């Protein structure tokens, strides 16, 4: 009896593993561009900055089905880019796990950018100027001063993005559908189980797993952030004491 | 040699600094808001001037007409900031090495060991900046800037955030840097005594303009320059040589030029030079030597300048070096003190303090 309640079925394990894979690749994919866009928004002023800012944040305020549908139009097998990718390289992203990564990356990107941007803008520009006065070129300053000092916020951003990716539903189901073993991630699996008779128990198991993962991610984020903050010293700007 | 002609407008404030500095160590003096930090920022390359030029030892680092603006990371000018700006994520050793490691071996003219010994920071190497006291931070910041073997060292009010006690601990290190490392320096401060402790060469900046450049003696001939020095609390800084100690009576005898001066007991070996600080308002003047007074010091002096200031008159005296006394206007007219007159400066032993320790 207990076995049947707590033991995951093969399909459930598959959904869990797929979710983990999608979330990990999504986080990896947005890490570098997220930091780059965050740096642009935090430190630079340029024409079209507010437009870039708005576009990056759009997925946060749109119903997820909208970005999902736009992705379908662009990257779907009949889409503008999707068709070209298919013909030129034989690559299909629609209805594949790679498509699920793209969908959740689009949705998680603004969370990453927001968090990293705040962290980068809080790095004292006086320290960056001091580093330059010591002979470091701007790129070196970024990697040796800005990035380490912004690390707590960047870690938070990555974990938020990871969690968002695990929970992504609307854009994913719109763009890549609900294909078992390929695009049926944890939330999609839960949804599927709620739609079939006798699926409640399986749905509940997956709900509990989702909650445990989410809680774990938040706690891990807290620990990592605290550790990173300790590494860079108590105050980011040591002055007037 | 430094040739500066730099302009910058910031809101309603406009700065136009024009001067040629030939002395290696110069104090840039001026009241708060005069534009000292802005000028220093333009020299370092932190702030872009609107117009003008800046030539350091024959190399043009900025020229608006020719479109030259060497970025600060290529200028090789060391900067010590008021707020130290140590990298909080690096320990003291890595802070010191930050610029040092970017140099080619042949350009590392100042050695790591030499600098940590000079500044006595060897015991701090494994600490993080937040574990350091304010004075230690500034010594590390100074060491970090020195270790890039800069062609010019800029010190932007490095002591302004420290209390008097800490200031007096750091000043001797700055003096050591000046004496032991042959390095051109511009020391910015609104405290004239700090500057005089390091150098007598001064550039006076007020309301965005350089009033005068030269030795303190020359600079304060300018009425406006004197008024500024006066407004900042005029402290004489004299360098005297220790002659003998009288611990039982609590005083030390030193000499300025050929004249002995009694100062509170100091723990410095005989023969060593000590910097003394005497407030201008603590010096009284007398036409003849006075017997039967408690004042120990009666220095023979010649009047070299008399200038009116807000509340009284500043009399510049030559006692073997320059000394400024602040007296009332009435006393000057009553005593008929004139240029070239011979006088005695009366200074209480207890009103003299040692700048370091």
What Cα–Cα distance (Å) separates residue B225 from each residue in B35, B75, B111, B203? Answer: 15, 31, 40, 10
Q: What is the mean predicted confidence (pLDDT) over B188-205?
A: 86
Distance in angstroms (rounded) separating the CA atoms of residues A240 and B219: 32
Distance in angstroms (rounded) separating the CA atoms of residues B93 and B85: 15
Q: Is B13 on the interface with A (CB under 8 A)?
A: no
Q: Is A232 on the interface with B (CB under 8 A)?
A: yes
Half-sphere exposure of A172 (CA within 13 A, CB side): 31
| DSSP collapsed to 3 states, B299-316 | EEEEEEEEEECCCCEEEE
pLDDT at B236: 83
Distance in angstroms (rounded) separating the CA atoms of residues A235 and B132: 12
Q: What is the mean predicted confidence (pLDDT) over A59-70?
A: 93
For A152, the closest chain B residue by CA position comes to: B89
Judge: B72–A234 Cβ closer than 8 Å, yes or no.
no
Closest C-alpha to B118, from B149, B100, B143, B153: B143
Distance in angstroms (rounded) separating the CA atoms of residues A34 and A56: 10
Q: B43-52, B184-193, B218-227: which has the minimum mean pLDDT?
A: B218-227
Distance in angstroms (rounded) separating the CA atoms of residues B20 and A15: 75
**List of residues 6+ apart from B212 with CB closer than 8 A:** B203, B204, B218, B219, B222, B225
Q: Are B86 and B158 in contact (CB under 8 A)?
A: no
Q: What is the mean predicted confidence (pLDDT) over A145-151?
A: 93
Q: Are B259 and B241 in contact (CB under 8 A)?
A: no
Pick from A136, A145, A240: which is nearest to B161 by CB? Answer: A240
**List of residues 6+ apart from B12 with CB closer than 8 A:** none
Q: What is the mean predicted confidence (pLDDT) over A42-68?
A: 92
For B84, the closest chain A residue by CA position comes to: A239
pLDDT at A236: 43
pLDDT at B86: 95
**Token pair belonging to B221:** 């001939």
Judge: B79–A130 Cβ closer than 8 Å, yes or no.
yes
Ranked by mean pLDDT, which of A36-40, A89-93, B296-300, B339-343 comes out on top? Answer: A36-40
Closest C-alpha to B237, from B200, B266, B262: B200
Q: What is the mean predicted confidence (pLDDT) over A186-201?
A: 90
The yes-or-no verdict on residue B221 having pLDDT over 80 is no
Please identify which residue in the block is written with the tokens 């690749």: A25
Percent above pLDDT 70 for chain A: 94
Judge: B102–A131 Cβ closer than 8 Å, yes or no.
no
List, edge to edge, every strand of the sheet that includes B51-56.
B68-69, B59-63, B51-56, B2-10, B13-21, B209-215, B201-206, B25-29, B185-189, B152-156, B77-80
Judge: B76–A135 Cβ closer than 8 Å, yes or no.
yes
The size of the A-B interface in CB pairs under 8 A is 85
Q: Are B298 and B289 in contact (CB under 8 A)?
A: yes
Phi, psi of A124 (to 5 degrees): -60, 120
**pTM value?**
0.80
What Cα–Cα distance (Å) separates residue B320 from each residue in B240, B242, B260, B275, B317? Answer: 10, 16, 11, 15, 9
**Token pair belonging to B6:** 């730099």
Q: Which residues of A are less than 8 Å from B83 in CB distance?
A: 126, 237-240
Distance in angstroms (rounded) separating the CA atoms of residues B173 and A138: 31
For B96, the closest chain A residue by CA position comes to: A134
Instruction: Enter the ipTM.
Output: 0.80
Judge: B85–A130 Cβ closer than 8 Å, yes or no.
yes
Question: Residue B59: which pLDDT band, with cuts at 50, 70 and 90?
Answer: very high
Q: Are B297 and B256 in contact (CB under 8 A)?
A: no
What Cα–Cα distance (Å) separates residue B273 from each residue in A104, B115, B202, B256, B268? Answer: 73, 23, 22, 10, 9
pLDDT at B338: 86
DSSP chain A: -HHHHHSPPHHHHHHHHHHHHHHHHHHHHHHHHHHHHHHHHHH---TTHHHHHHHHHHHHHS-THHHHHHHHHHHSTTSHHHHHHHHHH----TTSHHHHHHHHHHHHHHHHHHHHHHHHHTS-HHHHHHHHHTT--HHHHIIIIIHHHHHHHHHHHHHHHHHHHHH--HHHHHHH---TTTT--HHHHHHHHHHSTT-HHHHHHHHHHHHHHHHHHHHHHHHHHHHHHHHT-S-SS----
- Phi/psi-derived region of residue B48, left when phi > 0, alpha when psi is between -120 and 50, beta in every other case: beta
Distance in angstroms (rounded) separating the CA atoms of residues B146 and B149: 5
Distance in angstroms (rounded) separating the CA atoms of residues B282 and B295: 12
What's the gap in Å between the CA of A113 and the closest CA on chain B?
A: 23
Pick from B81, B103, B134: which is nearest to A130 by CB? Answer: B81
What's the gap in Å between the CA of A137 and the closest CA on chain B?
A: 6
């Amino acid at each position: 009896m207990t076995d049947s309640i707590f033991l995951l079925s093969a399909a459930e394990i598959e959904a869990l593993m797929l979710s983990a894979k999608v979330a990990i690749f999504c986080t990896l994919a947005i890490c570098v561009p997220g930091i780059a866009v965050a740096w642009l928004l935090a430190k630079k002023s340029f024409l079209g900055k507010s437009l870039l800012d708005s576009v990056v944040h759009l997925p946060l305020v749109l119903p997820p089905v909208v970005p999902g549908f736009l992705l379908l139009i662009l990257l779907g097998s009949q889409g503008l880019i999707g068709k070209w990718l298919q013909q030129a390289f034989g690559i299909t992203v629609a209805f594949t796990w790679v498509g699920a990564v793209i969908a959740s990356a689009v949705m998680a990107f603004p969370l990453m950018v927001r968090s990293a941007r705040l962290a980068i803008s809080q790095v004292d520009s006086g320290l960056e100027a001091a580093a330059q006065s010591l002979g470091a070129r701007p790129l070196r300053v970024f990697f040796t001063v800005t990035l380490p000092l912004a690390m707590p916020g960047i870690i938070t951003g990555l974990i938020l993005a990871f969690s968002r990716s695990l929970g992504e539903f609307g854009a994913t189901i719109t763009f890549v559908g609900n294909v078992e073993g390929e695009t049926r991630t944890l939330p999609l699996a839960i949804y599927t189980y709620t739609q079939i008779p006798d699926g409640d128990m399986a749905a509940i198991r997956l709900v509990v797993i989702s909650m445990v993962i989410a809680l774990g991610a938040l706690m891990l984020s807290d620990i990592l952030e605290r550790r990173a903050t300790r590494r860079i010293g108590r105050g980011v700007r040591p002055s007037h004491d | 040699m430094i040739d500066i002609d730099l302009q910058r407008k910031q809101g309603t404030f406009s700065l136009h600094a024009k001067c040629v500095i030939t002395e290696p160590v110069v104090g840039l003096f001026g009241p708060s808001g005069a534009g000292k930090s802005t000028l220093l920022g333009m020299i370092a390359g932190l702030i872009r001037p609107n117009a003008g030029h800046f030539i350091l030892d024959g190399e043009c680092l900025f020229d608006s007409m020719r479109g030259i603006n060497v970025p600060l990371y290529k200028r090789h000018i060391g900067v010590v900031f008021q707020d130290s700006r140590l990298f909080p994520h690096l320990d003291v050793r890595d802070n010191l090495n930050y610029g040092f490691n970017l140099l080619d071996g042949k350009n590392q003219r100042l050695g790591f060991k030499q600098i940590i010994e000079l500044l006595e920071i060897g015991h701090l190497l494994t600490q993080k900046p937040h574990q350091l006291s304010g004075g230690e931070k500034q010594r590390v910041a100074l060491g970090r800037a020195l270790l890039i073997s800069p062609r010019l060292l800029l010190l932007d009010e490095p002591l302004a955030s420290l209390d008097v006690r800490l200031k007096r601990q750091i000043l001797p290190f700055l003096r050591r840097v000046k004496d032991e490392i042959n390095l051109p320096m511009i020391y910015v401060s609104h405290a004239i005594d700090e500057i005089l402790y390091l150098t007598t060469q001064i550039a006076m900046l007020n309301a965005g303009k350089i009033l005068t450049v030269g030795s303190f003696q020359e600079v304060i001939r300018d009425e406006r320059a004197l008024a500024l020095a006066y407004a900042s609390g005029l402290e004489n800084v004299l360098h005297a040589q220790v002659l003998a100690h009288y611990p039982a009576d609590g005083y030390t005898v030193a000499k300025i030029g050929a004249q002995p001066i009694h100062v509170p007991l100091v723990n410095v070996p005989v023969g060593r030079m000590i910097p003394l600080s005497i407030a201008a308002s603590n010096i009284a003047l007398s036409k003849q030597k006075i017997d039967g007074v408690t004042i120990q010091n009666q220095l023979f002096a010649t009047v070299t300048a008399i200038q009116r200031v807000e509340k009284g008159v500043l009399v510049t005296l030559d006692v073997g070096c320059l000394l400024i006394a602040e007296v009332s206007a009435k006393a000057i007219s009553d005593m008929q003190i004139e240029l070239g007159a011979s006088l005695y400066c009366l200074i209480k032993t207890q009103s003299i303090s040692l700048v370091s320790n």
